[in-house]
Amino acid sequence: MTEMAAGTTTSSEPLPRAKTDLLPLLIVPALALLALPFVGSGSTWVTLTVAGLAMGMMIFLMASGLTLVFGLMDIINFGHGVFISLGAYATLIILGPLAGWAQADSVWLNLGLLALCILAAMGVTGIVGAVFERIIVRPVYGSHLKQILVTMGGLIVAEQAIHAIWGASPIPIPLPETLRGAFIIGDVIMERYRVVAVGIGLIVFIGMQLLLNRTRIGLLIRAGVENPEMVEALGYRIRRLFVSVFVAGSALAGLGGVMWAFYRQTLTAGMGMEVMVLVFIVIIIGGLGSVGGCFVGSILVALVANYVGFIEPKLALISNILVMALVLIWRPQGLFPVARR
């Protein structure tokens, strides 16, 4: 980036202040505090909150790519769930030969196994994403109806391909030893894997924020989400950017798929499709195209699901829809609306 900003603001007149929109960020702590008296016990509340955050991070990983693909390319990709399932199944490439590492009495082998699974999954989903973009998405730019039909078709084909390669029955996978069990601090119980999931989610979120805000590619993506035509008129070949974002979004979904798979410890070809409803809910809540909104939306939905599931289990099923409805009544374009042409 250029350093041309230095010393150019010399005017003595007061600068107008930037409009920063923090309100949606406050909902999360407000919600958590609101839930406390209903949950009753402080330690249970911490457990539920950590569980909700972990869930939220996994949803964020699975959804973040989709919101960018939608924002930048105006593509509705119903096939996104494929990358989640595929990422999950890609762990088998590593778990096959290295299953022993999961039981090994070494933190490094355990974590190394998780890292390898993530790499394999992101590699596979990235490559399949590039192919998917080329043969399924590219012919249907500009027509939402065709996109829905064609990406749905791609989804069905890919699910069947997973069945053909890995069989139709659910496959159990082992959670590495170190990640099992819970951290117990006083009477607060936090499952280890959830804490790790929160950590990975945060790392990815911070990485994405840095990329989007501090690099030229990030500038281009943000500008492209707002007005792709103008980005082209400035001389940038936006197609290449589209493809890179699609590939990165698929790889992130693959990462989400790995985290989700170890959480359930079972693989099924439909597991990606099952979370897609949630994924669509959070990207709508967040504001289509907004990574920050997707992050807040994911946490919001997951926290509500956890609190409600504990306080009034009968309402758990409709809580997501309720959150979406309330958010959209408040902000019809989502928490962080992205400006559009």
Partner 1 sequence: MAEPLLQLSGVHTHIGPYHILHGVDFSIPASQLTVLLGRNGAGKTTTLRTIMGLWQASSGMIRFDGRDITKTSTPDIARAGIGYVPESMAIFTDLTVRENIVLAARSGPVEPARLDWMLGLFPALKRFWNLPAGNLSGGQKQMLAIARAIAEPRRLLLIDEPTKGLAPVMVRSMIEAFKALKASGETILLVEQNFYAASALGDNVIVMDDGRIVHSGAMREMVEDKTLQQRLLGLSLDAHQ
Q: Per-residue DSSP letters for 13-63?
A: SPPPPP----HHHHHHHHHHHHHHHHH--HHHHHHHHHHHHHHHHHHHHHH
Which residue lies nearer to partner 1 by CB, 9 or 169? 9
Is 13 a binding residue for partner 1 by CB under 8 A? The answer is yes
Per the CB < 8 A criterion, the answer to whether 48 and 304 are in contact is no
Which residue lies nearer to partner 1 by CB, 74 or 274? 74
Which residue lies nearer to partner 1 by CB, 329 or 339? 339
Binding mask 201-240 for partner 1 (x = CB under 8 A): ---------------x--xx-xx-xxx-xxxxxxxxxx--
Which residue lies nearer to partner 1 by CB, 116 or 219? 219
Residue 66 C-beta: closest distance to partner 1, Å: 19
Distance CA(244)–CA(126), nearest Å, equals 9
Range 17-76, binding partner 1 (CB under 8 A) = 18-19
Of the candidate spans 8-16, 22-30, 48-56, 87-95, the one that interacts with partner 1 by CB under 8 A turns out to be 8-16
Of the candidate spans 9-17, 42-50, 173-181, 250-258, the one that interacts with partner 1 by CB under 8 A turns out to be 9-17
Distance CA(197)–CA(320), nearest Å, equals 21
* Tokens representing residue 310 in the block: 């504990």
Backbone angles phi, psi at 175, to 5 degrees: -80, 130
Q: Per-residue DSSP letters for 118-146?
A: HHHHHHHHHHHHHHHIIIIIGGGTT-HHH
- Those residues whose C-beta lies under 8 Å from the C-beta of residue 4, and which sit 6 or more positions away, are none
Is 80 a binding residue for partner 1 by CB under 8 A? The answer is no
Per the CB < 8 A criterion, the answer to whether 102 and 174 are in contact is yes
Amino acid identity, residue 300?
Answer: L
- Those residues whose C-beta lies under 8 Å from the C-beta of residue 274, and which sit 6 or more positions away, are 81
Is 2 a binding residue for partner 1 by CB under 8 A? The answer is yes
User: Total number of residues binding partner 1 (CB under 8 A)?
Assistant: 35
> How many Cβ atoms from other residues are within 10 Å of residue 42's Cβ?
12
Q: Which of 9, 29, 172, 186 binds partner 1 (CB under 8 A)?
A: 9
Is 11 a binding residue for partner 1 by CB under 8 A? The answer is yes
Residue 216 C-beta: closest distance to partner 1, Å: 8
Residue 70 C-beta: closest distance to partner 1, Å: 16
Which residues of the shown chain bind partner 1 in the complex (CB under 8 A)?
Answer: 1-5, 8-11, 13, 15-16, 18-19, 216, 219-220, 222-223, 225-227, 229-238, 338-339, 341
